[in-house]
Chains A and B, each alone.
Chain A
Amino acid sequence: MATDLESIAAPDPAALAARRRRDGRKRRLLKHVVLIVFGFAMLYPLLWMVSSSFKPSDLIFRDASLIPSQFDFSNYTEGWTALARPFHHYLFNSAIIVFFSVVGNLLSCALAAYAFARLQFRGRRLFFAAMLGTIMLPIHVVIVPQYILFSELDWINTYYPLIVPKFLATDAFFIFLMVQFIRGLPRELDDAARIDGCGHFRIFWRIIMPLCLPALATTAIFTFISVWNDFYSQLIFVTDPDLYTVPVALRTFVDSQGESAWGPLFAMSLVALGPIFGFFLAGQRYLMRGIATTGIK
């Protein structure tokens, strides 16, 4: 490219600079076009799902367009009542599990993180390494004994198997996230509080926790999303239709009605995705930071 030869004395620097600017603008525009087209292609299935949820089922098979010819809410009313219980029943069940999971993760992981980040105790390095080692542990290795344990406790078909582990800090990467965060807080704050006579629990609760809000928010959002989307453990521990959560209910829906009811299925799937999308819009800052530091989805 001739314009790249700028190190050689050019005859007219001003004209050359103008040309470069023009080229740059053209390139930038092209870049945006590519990025927009690609982004649109990525989102097309989702947009099409939204639009299809307003189309009568037979039209879904014939109409690839994004704007439905008529807006029809019957898929939503039909889907809402298609299963044994109305859909808000399953939404409520999922909400209960999510709520307690978030509370449990926040409390238990923050407690453990404070100990790892701020306290000296015997076996600290070993325990920390053990904690890191469990971050990537496949759930498939522990699920069978967990199932046996929980059925001994008569907890199958309750929400305890899904909630109680969250109060026991079993999602180790949130401990790790908070340890990293607490280590970044100035120690002078703790020291000052200790001189004023604060014990560790007060320091933890009054000083560290309020400063940890960004890490807590990241933990809460990721817990919300992963528990709301979780299918595997809910499928295994919850078999009573009354206790079905949204993912398990959707699975029953698709397997019982199958191909005949795409409209209502899409409608209810979108209802299921709604809260995730809401958190995505509201909590982007925390999401991006969370992924960048821990690599979780």
Chain B
Amino acid sequence: MTTVPTSSRDQAPGEPPPEAPEQPPEPGRGRRSPLAKREGRVAYLFLAPWFIGMVVVTIGPILASLYLSFTEYSLLQPPEWLGLENYRRMLEDERLHTALRVTFTYVLVSVPLQLALALALAFFLDRGVRGLSVYRSVYYLPSLLGGSVAIAILWRQIFGTEGLINQLLGLVGIEGQGWVSHPDHALSTLIVLNVWTFGAPMVIFLAGLRQIPAMYYEAAEVDGAGGFTKFWRITVPLLTPIIFFNLVLQIIGSFQTFTQAFIVSGGTGGPADSTLFYTLYTYQRGFGSFEMGYASALAWVLLIIIAGFTAVNFLAAKRWVHYGD
């Protein structure tokens, strides 16, 4: 397996990729030639914008937000040190617990569904389908649009009391209900929206499937294997690195979902906090009531949750991901 799996593994956080083999070893530190020194200086010039961005826009703010998470800060007065108070407050914050429940439900339900659909369709599309590129594009389109405000608006109508879904249900004589306006169903509409954007992982699966040598399937067919056997015994095991890659990526992304919940609920996370995503709650605390200290603590906990999930994923991967070589 070449390009896709290696680059996928490289891109995972915290895992530096292997250096390109053709590059000469770095010269010893003590005696760098004038030429090497000059090259170093030029390199720092090339990297100057990135350095500044890294310090001012990324690392600086990460550390600042860690500091702020121990303070009370409303932008008007200087931050006031609170110690662990913000974190203690999180233990008693009922709305936060709701937000956690909503977000975990969303991630744990929508990501497996989305990936299963992506994998099934990639397998279905992979071999010998004419017009593959057309199907691929059609299925991929929702991934491009899914995060936009416009689609969230469409969703709000489709699943509204008088929306498209209820019209269609009406055609077959079922009386619908307000989906986005009902606390039991509002989250499901957002899960459907996330599953709808299965196209991006599907394209990644397709790229991975192309790396599986056709002779494996041919050999299995000679041995009398049917479609299901081929899928479970050949495709899935050989694709585990890509499944893993997509899983990590989608989990990280889904934890950060914001726009869809914001638009569908009008920024409230309602009805009855049923779409109060973690990010939405953090936004409300930070930019609704300007509790910058508490919002920073929330954001750091989100970072820890995401990092924790990713770490668990990497650990569990040892058990089920096979890197053929």
Contact = CB atoms under 8 A, between A and B. Distances in A.
B14 interface: yes
A108 B49 contact: yes
A146 B58 CA distance: 9
A131 interface: yes
A54 interface: no
Interface string A98-122: 0000000001100110110101111
A144 B11 contact: no
Contacts of B146: 297
Contact of A272 (B19, B39, B148): B148
Contact of B153 (A120, A254, A291, A292): A254
B215 interface: no
Interface in A54-112: 60-64, 107-108, 111-112
A144 B299 contact: yes
Contacts of A132: 10-11, 13-17
Contacts of A165: 53, 57
Interface string A120-159: 1110110111111111111111111111110100000000
Interface in A271-295: 272-273, 276-277, 280, 284, 287-288, 291-295
A119 B43 contact: yes
A220 interface: no
Contacts of A130: 54
A145 B296 CA distance: 8
Contacts of A145: 60-62, 64-65, 68, 296
Nearest first, the 8 A-B pairs at minimum CB distance are A168-B53, A269-B150, A145-B61, A145-B64, A121-B43, A115-B46, A292-B207, A142-B61
Interface of A: 1, 4, 7, 28, 31-32, 34-35, 38-39, 42-43, 45-46, 48-49, 60-64, 107-108, 111-112, 114-115, 117, 119-122, 124-125, 127-149, 151, 165, 167-170, 173, 175-176, 180, 183, 187, 199-201, 204, 225, 229, 231-232, 235-236, 246-247, 250-251, 254-255, 259, 262, 265-266, 269-270, 272-273, 276-277, 280, 284, 287-288, 291-297
Interface of B: 3-4, 7-8, 10-11, 13-17, 19-20, 22, 24, 26-27, 29, 36, 39-40, 42-44, 46-47, 49-50, 52-54, 56-58, 60-62, 64-65, 68, 75, 121, 124-125, 128-131, 133, 135-151, 153-154, 156-158, 160, 162, 164, 167-168, 171, 196-197, 200, 203-204, 206-207, 222, 224, 226, 245-246, 249, 252-253, 255-256, 258-259, 262-263, 266-267, 279, 282-283, 286-287, 292, 295-296, 299-300, 302-303, 306, 310
